[in-house]
């Protein structure tokens, strides 16, 4: 049966991989993203989708997006709080407080408005899935990435807590923890971590590969496979979980 899928940060990377795969199987997709150009491109590729420019940290913009979804669809079956940015890299004593706050703002605070809306709507429906995007950084320590890691551990706490608040109403809440994903974003992260650590970019890439038991990076499609599984009846009894798709991260420390 066709589902109503809402995705934040849905115009590129993992969010777009989710949007493509849900749309391809006939689901209705609504995505928002702060990048207006990427939203335009996503709308061109997925003409039936609701695609709007909205920043997850901006209450007025999120109200416009989410109220459009509610008006058009009357609710949502799967809400993916996925938007995120890498944040700054560096030793904590070298980090700027504004950069710290900006990272927490998008990666943790940015999930609040989306989850609050989803909780209200889904409690009323008596069903639904809230799917947050954490990270393997939400399961390990990662030197020089303290604000991002703190935010992604925060997402795990939010997942566990919302699963408890909403479970009795029939609503499931889970998180996906991607490992290093092939693509432009990890290229940027690798360059930033290399600069912060003094290592070469190849050496940083090697750390990510060797840190996983399967000696691998992952793809947006690997993550979309997990999202589709969690949205399926086969996952009807799965809630409060952080599902890593990462080849099993053993360590993120050089
Ligand atoms: N790429 C990885 O290796 C990796 C690993 C672990 C976790 N993650 C997480 O996966 C999620 C998606 O990341 P991605 O890899 O697809 O990155 P990406 O940069 O390719 O895509 C993220 C999207 O979110 C959007 N975005 C950023 N800030 C936003 C905001 N304030 N409001 C709305 N949209 C915003 C960006 O414009 C972009 O389109 C993030 O939460 C990220 O932290 C990524």
Q: What is the pLDDT of residue 197?
A: 86
Helix axes 110-125, 146-166, angle to 10 degrees: 10
SS3 240: coil
Q: How far apart are CA 48 and CA 150, in angstroms?
A: 37
At 193 the pLDDT is 85
Over pLDDT 90: what percentage of the chain? 92
**Domains in the chain, ordered, with CATH?**
4-179+220-243 (3.40.50.720), 181-217 (no CATH)
Dist CA 44 CA 9 (whole Å): 16
The reported pLDDT for the residue numbered 189 is: 85
Work out the average pLDDT over 40-65.
Answer: 98
11 Cβ closer than 6 Å to some ligand 1 atom = yes
Please identify every residue annotated as catalytic: 148
Does ligand 1 lie within 6 Å of residue 56's CB atom? yes
Per-residue tokens: 64: 């416009």
Name the residue among 171, 152, 176, 158 with its Cα closest to residue 85.
152
Instruction: Supply the pLDDT for residue 252.
Output: 85
Å from CA of 168 to ligand 1 middle? 31
Strands (E) located in the chain:
4-8, 28-33, 50-53, 78-81, 128-133, 171-178, 242-245
In order, the DSSP letters of 39-89 are HHHHHHHSTTSEEEE--TT-HHHHHHHHHHHHHHHSS-SEEEE--------
pLDDT tens track for 174-224: 999 999 999 988 899 899 889 988 999 999 999 889 999 999 999 999 999
pTM over 0.75: yes
Establish whether residue 10 lines the binding site of ligand 1, counting it when its CB lies within 6 angstroms of any ligand atom. Answer: no
Query: In the structure, what pLDDT confidence band is assigned to residue 136 with cuts at 50, 70 and 90?
Result: very high
Question: Which atom of ligand 1 is found nearest the CA of 188?
Answer: 19
């Amino acid at each position: 049966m066709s589902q109503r899928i809402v995705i934040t940060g849905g115009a590129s990377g993992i969010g777009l991989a989710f949007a493509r795969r849900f749309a391809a199987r006939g689901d209705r997709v609504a995505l928002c993203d702060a990048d207006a150009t990427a939203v335009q491109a996503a709308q061109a590729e997925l003409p039936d989708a609701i695609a709007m420019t909205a920043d997850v940290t901006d209450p007025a913009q999120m109200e416009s997006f989410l109220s459009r979804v509610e008006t058009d669809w009357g609710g949502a079956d799967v809400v993916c709080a996925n938007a995120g940015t890498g944040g700054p890299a560096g030793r904590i004593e070298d980090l700027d407080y504004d950069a710290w706050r900006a990272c927490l703002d998008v990666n943790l605070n940015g999930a609040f408005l989306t989850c609050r809306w989803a909780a209200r709507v889904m409690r009323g429906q008596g069903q639904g899935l809230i799917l947050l995007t954490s990270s393997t950084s939400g399961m390990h320590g990662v030197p020089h990435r303290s604000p991002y890691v703190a935010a992604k551990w925060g997402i795990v706490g939010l997942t566990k807590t919302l699963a408890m608040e909403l479970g009795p109403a029939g609503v499931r809440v889970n998180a996906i923890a991607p490992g290093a994903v092939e693509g432009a974003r990890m290229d940027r992260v690798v360059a930033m971590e290399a600069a912060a650590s003094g290592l070469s970019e190849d050496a940083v890439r090697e750390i990510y590969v060797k840190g996983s038991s399967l000696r691998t990076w992952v793809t947006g499609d690997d993550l979309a496979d997990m999202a589709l599984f969690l949205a399926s009846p086969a996952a009807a009894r799965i809630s409060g979980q952080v599902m890593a798709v990462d080849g099993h991260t053993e360590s993120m420390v050089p």
